[in-house]
Amino acid sequence: MSNTIETIKEQLENNDILLYMKGSPRAPQCGFSAQAVQALMSCGERFAFVNILDNPDIRAELPKYANWPTFPQLWVKGELVGGCDIIVEMAQNGELEPIIKEAAATEE
């Protein structure tokens, strides 16, 4: 297994709420990442992020590992929640916040 996959697994183990995105929450570098950040921030909990533009190997390997071709990717408790459309839809219908609050509540 590649070191990149090990890194991804470590990131997922160490962060209950993790967004793989282009840019950072304060300065998203694509519209989809910006929408995902906005939806996540509306839940009112802190979350970790990885800027895939700074990590080309993660950008290359994560879609294969996740079996999900696009970014952003939201992971909660090591499970892939989905990309921008799913995150925004879940935020709009009230499904996202309980998942995020629960994950944040159990974070050590």
Angstrom distance (rounded) from CA 28 to CA 101: 23
As annotated, the binding site includes 22, 30, 59, 71, 84-85
Output phi, psi for 77, to 5 deg.
Answer: 55, 40
As annotated, the binding site for glutathione includes 22, 59, 71, 84-85
Look at residue 28 and give its three-state secondary structure. strand
Angstrom distance (rounded) from CA 5 to CA 65: 7
Burial class (CB in 10 A: 0-12, 13-18, 19+), 59: middle
As annotated, the binding site for [2Fe-2S] cluster includes 30
